[in-house]
Amino acid sequence: MYERLKAMLIKEFIQVLRDPRMRFVVFIIPAVQTIIFGYAVNTDVRHVATAIYDLDNSSQSRELADRFLQSGYFELTERVSDEARARELIDRGEVKALLRMNHGFGAGLIGGRGATVQLILDGTDSNTAGIVLNYAVRIANGYGSQLQLAAVQRAAGRSLPVHGVELASRAWYNENLESRNYFVPAVITNIVFIITMLLSSMAVVREKEIGTIEQVIVTPIGKGEFILGKTVPFVLIGFINVALVSLVAVFWFEVPLRGSLMLLFGSTAVFLMSSLGIGLLISTISRTQQQAMMSAFFVIFPAMLLSGFAFPIESMPEPVQWLTYLNPMRFFLVIIRSIFQKGVGLEILWPQLLALSIIGVVILTLAIARFKKNLS
Amino acid sequence: MPEPQPQAAATAPPLPPAVVLRELTRRFGDFTAVNRVSLEVTRGEIFGFLGPNGAGKSTTIRMLCGILPPTSGSGSVAGFDIASQSEQIKKQIGYMSQKFSLYEDLTVEENIDFYSGIYRIPGAKKRERKEWVIEMAGLADRRGARTATLSGGWKQRLALGCAILHEPPIVFLDEPTSGVDPVSRRSFWELIYRLAGAGVTIFVTTHYLEEAECCDRLGFIFGGELIALGSPAELKKGFPGEIVALECERPFEVLKRVEALPGVRQATLFGAGLHLTVDRAETLIPALREALPDLEVHLERIAPSLEDLFVSFMEARTG
Ligand SMILES: Nc1ncnc2c1ncn2[C@@H]1O[C@H](COP(=O)(O)OP(=O)(O)O)[C@@H](O)[C@H]1O
Ligand SMILES: [Mg+2]
């Protein structure tokens, strides 16, 4: 058993590591994906192009404008002196925000009557606008003034006030940074799933396609030895992926990893039963690498959509929610996020791990049963 | 070299025949690739399985090696049933597939190491067998080379080496020399003789007739059916009719004229001339001279070759 498995493993590793495309897939893609993703979900907006329209021109109004500019979130594009120019800048998209202080702003502050400052935001990108608004609220409140906001949406070249927005008193300022903490670790589930499933199915199908499998199956190698030889390398590659993504998350994006590394890799091992099982299943129904790739994508998309990665499961229709219980990614995602963000252990995560184990054992058993050591 | 199998001694029971096929059949959908083939190969012989492309040679060999289940009929290799005991068979055989199927992205040595690991060749023997294969294949200078960079003859000898690393008593070779140059082909057949000399049973498919002449016994398969079986000499002896070789200029034109003559059963282009299958050469040769007065022809009765034989078989089948 050991002798044959060793021969299989050596051969598989040589093949993976010798192929530059494979090296790229195994080592570069996870890191690059994590970095791209880390920035793509980065909702931490800085240097918003801003115009200042100061009608008051008091020391108070200048002070508030300075506070905006010094916060680092707003960057001055132009000081404007009339309404038309302000509109023009917004319409052309040259500024994303217009800070307007009316006559009497300084006097109001001094007199304790309260003062209103107006912030007009380009609402085209509602996400960014929302974040900018939060910064503005904090700065304005810090200065004891009220902020009145008008979001404008540039449509057909016209500015059009959409609605006045009530001041949000909740400070979700921090949450912007946490969205990264939430999303980046989750990249692990996608990367591990896609890479291990795709590579393990390809590793078998490539031998079918090239014909090398014919020479292997006339040897007395056992079915189990062959399957192990084709999966163990990808267990290791799965671990490498987890390590790479975690390293990038922790050291590049400073995402906290609060839970145990043991549990991180242990649950990865449990998850790999499913992804490698699906990979093997695909290899039993595919003759060419292209077919295997198509089948893999057929699995990947629903698995990702129904995992809770991008769309919360709670907001899916109920029948679809039930479907997600068949999805190993769903459980793995909860485990990974909990390990990173909450630092919880087995005492909390055992139901997910149990579900993952059951799904894994079923898929793997099915795959092994279907796997035949012949050419039919 | 593999040791010869001990011959049936007083104490040991005789070895079962190397290969037995009984009405062996394989269908792919509606298409019958191998149709009720029955034959036996005895220990130590070189059995040639001859037939044109698509005749069903590879399909037969794959069923015997336990990598393709038969549709019906039965067979055994080294006494083990091909349908139910394929894993035992795999310990007894070496197989070289028609298409080169070693790993092209591995080096010569890595391929050998892989197969000696898979065959669980014990540590001490491993080195010896590896050196034997490298020497046999003439790859001493290329041991570290990627297999993809080797030329056809080298690849085929390496494939043979990897297939017999474990010294199997029965070896299946599926068109081992297709696509290699004549010199490599000759040296490959020398290797086959060396193996056979050591008592190994060889089951080899080919469509080269000169290779068929080298076999102890032949089976001729055509359209999935076995249509002749015997040693080359037996087969030629059983040839129905006699052969007259006709040498002339522009044989293609002459072909049309002689075909119509009474007593000529069949006429085929053969090298620079024609071969005529006739009932009695003695009476036909003078008749031919009379019928072709305008031509400078050389006529001679010859012994039928394997090619004459198989051409006649094929003509008979296809009508
Ligand atoms: N897996 C398969 N599926 C369908 N048809 C096949 C398959 N393998 C072989 N055949 C068909 O069976 C016939 C015999 O093929 P094969 O045994 O490879 O012939 P040979 O080796 O004598 O050239 C061919 O017509 C071939 O197309
Ligand atoms: Mg063939």
Is the pLDDT at A233 greater than 90, yes or no? yes
Assess if residue B5 is contained within a domain: no
Mean pLDDT of all residues in A197-213:
92
Is the pLDDT at A161 greater than 50, yes or no? no
Is the pLDDT at A364 greater than 50, yes or no? yes
Is the pLDDT at A111 greater than 80, yes or no? no
Side-chain-facing half-sphere of B147: CA atoms under 13 Å:
23
Record: contact B67-A375, CB cut-off 8 A: yes
Assess if residue B298 is contained within a domain: yes
pLDDT number for residue B9: 45
B304: exposed, middle or buried (Cβ count in 10 Å: 0-12, 13-18, 19+):
buried
DSSP string for residues in B127-177: HHHHHHHHHHHT-GGGTTSBGGGS-HHHHHHHHHHHHTTT--SEEEEESTT
Do residues A250 and A38 touch, judged by C-beta distance below 8 A?
A: no
Do residues B111 and B158 touch, judged by C-beta distance below 8 A?
A: yes
Mean pLDDT of all residues in A294-314:
89
* Domain-ending residue, one of B186, B208, B235: B235
Is the pLDDT at A22 greater than 90, yes or no? no
* Domain-ending residue, one of B213, B235, B257: B235
List pLDDT tens digits, range B97-132.
999 999 999 999 999 999 999 999 998 899 999 999
Q: Determine the residue of chain B that is closest to A11 in CA distance.
A: B114
Assess if residue B280 is contained within a domain: yes
pTM score: 0.79
Q: Give the strand pairing for A48-54 and A97-101.
A: parallel
CA A89 to chain centre: 34
Query: What range does the domain containing B284 cover?
Result: 240-303
Question: Do B171 and B250 have their domain in common?
Answer: no
Assess if residue B44 is contained within a domain: yes
B220 CA → ligand 2 middle, Å? 14
Token pair for B129: 């067998």
Question: Do B206 and B259 have their domain in common?
Answer: no
Confidence at A114, pLDDT banded by 50, 70, 90: low
Choose, out of A4, A8, A212, A376, the residue to mutate when testing the contact with B (most B CBs < 10 Å).
Answer: A212
B201: exposed, middle or buried (Cβ count in 10 Å: 0-12, 13-18, 19+):
buried
Q: How far is A45 from chain B (nearest CA, A)?
A: 49
Mean pLDDT of all residues in A174-184:
64
Question: Do B140 and B101 have their domain in common?
Answer: yes
pLDDT number for residue B209: 86
In this predicted structure, which of A243-257, A299-313, B305-319 has the lowest mean pLDDT?
B305-319
Record: contact A7-B95, CB cut-off 8 A: no
Question: Do B222 and B130 have their domain in common?
Answer: yes
Is the pLDDT at A168 greater than 50, yes or no? no
| Residue A128 phi, psi dihedral angles, 5° rounding | -65, -40
Share of chain B above pLDDT 70, in %: 96
| Residue B172 phi, psi dihedral angles, 5° rounding | -105, 125
Do residues B151 and A47 touch, judged by C-beta distance below 8 A?
A: no
B275 CA → ligand 2 middle, Å? 29
The full set of domains in chain A, from first to last, is 2-42+179-370 (no CATH), 48-156 (3.40.1710.10)
pLDDT number for residue A157: 31
Record: contact B114-A19, CB cut-off 8 A: no
Assess if residue B1 is contained within a domain: no
In this predicted structure, which of A33-47, B164-178, B221-235, B285-299 has the lowest mean pLDDT?
A33-47
Identify the sign of the CA torsion B31, B35, B36, B38: negative
Question: Do B264 and B202 have their domain in common?
Answer: no
Mean pLDDT of all residues in A7-15:
95
pLDDT number for residue B11: 61
| Residue B240 phi, psi dihedral angles, 5° rounding | -80, 110
Token pair for B76: 């055994």
Confidence at A145, pLDDT banded by 50, 70, 90: low
The beta-carbon neighbor of B118 closest among A18, A210, A221 is A221
Mean pLDDT of all residues in A355-372:
94
Do residues A162 and A151 touch, judged by C-beta distance below 8 A?
A: yes
Question: Do B147 and B209 have their domain in common?
Answer: yes
pLDDT number for residue B319: 62
**Of ligand 1's atoms, which has the minimum distance to the CA of residue B57?**
22
Chain B CB within 8 Å of residue A159 CB: no
- The span from the CA of B319 to the CA of B314, in Å, is 8
pLDDT number for residue A174: 33
Question: Do B52 and B200 have their domain in common?
Answer: yes
pLDDT number for residue B205: 96
Q: How many domains does chain B have?
A: 2
Question: Do B196 and B68 have their domain in common?
Answer: yes
List pLDDT tens digits, range B9-60.
456 677 889 999 999 999 999 999 999 999 999 999 999 999 999 999 999 9
* Domain-ending residue, one of B235, B251, B270: B235
Confidence at A43, pLDDT banded by 50, 70, 90: low
- The span from the CA of B281 to the CA of B291, in Å, is 15
**Tokens 């019906």 identify what position?**
B72
Assess if residue B9 is contained within a domain: no
Question: Do B187 and B276 have their domain in common?
Answer: no
Bridge partners (DSSP) of residue A165 are: A149
Between B178 and A329, the higher pLDDT residue: A329
Is the pLDDT at B273 greater than 60, yes or no? yes
DSSP string for residues in B10-51: SSSPPPPPSEEEEEEEEEETTEEEEEEEEEEE-TT-EEEEE-
Mean pLDDT of all residues in B68-79:
96
Confidence at A290, pLDDT banded by 50, 70, 90: very high
Do residues A176 and A133 touch, judged by C-beta distance below 8 A?
A: no
B59 touches ligand 1 (CB under 6 Å)? yes
Assess if residue B14 is contained within a domain: no
Question: Do B115 and B190 have their domain in common?
Answer: yes
pLDDT number for residue B163: 95
pLDDT number for residue B237: 86
Confidence at A178, pLDDT banded by 50, 70, 90: low
Mean pLDDT of all residues in A231-235:
94
Confidence at A175, pLDDT banded by 50, 70, 90: very low
pLDDT number for residue A125: 63
Residue B197's alpha-carbon distances to A165, A278, B2, B191, B303, in angstroms, are 96, 49, 10, 10, 29
Is the pLDDT at A232 greater than 80, yes or no? yes
pLDDT number for residue A172: 29
pLDDT number for residue A167: 30
Is the pLDDT at A356 greater than 90, yes or no? yes
Question: Do B32 and B114 have their domain in common?
Answer: yes
Assess if residue B226 is contained within a domain: yes
pLDDT number for residue A215: 94
Mean pLDDT of all residues in A286-304:
92
Confidence at A321, pLDDT banded by 50, 70, 90: very high
B28 touches ligand 1 (CB under 6 Å)? yes
List pLDDT tens digits, range A88-100.
887 777 888 888 8
Is the pLDDT at B75 greater than 50, yes or no? yes
Record: contact B117-A7, CB cut-off 8 A: yes
pLDDT number for residue A152: 40
Tell me the CATH number at B224. Answer: 3.40.50.300
Question: Do B166 and B263 have their domain in common?
Answer: no
- The span from the CA of B174 to the CA of A286, in Å, is 26
Share of chain A above pLDDT 90, in %: 46
Residue type, A328: P
List pLDDT tens digits, range B283-306.
888 888 888 888 788 888 888 888
pLDDT number for residue A124: 64
Tell me the CATH number at B254. Answer: 3.30.70.920
Is the pLDDT at A311 greater than 50, yes or no? yes
B51 touches ligand 1 (CB under 6 Å)? yes
Record: contact A219-B90, CB cut-off 8 A: yes
Token pair for A223: 């079915």
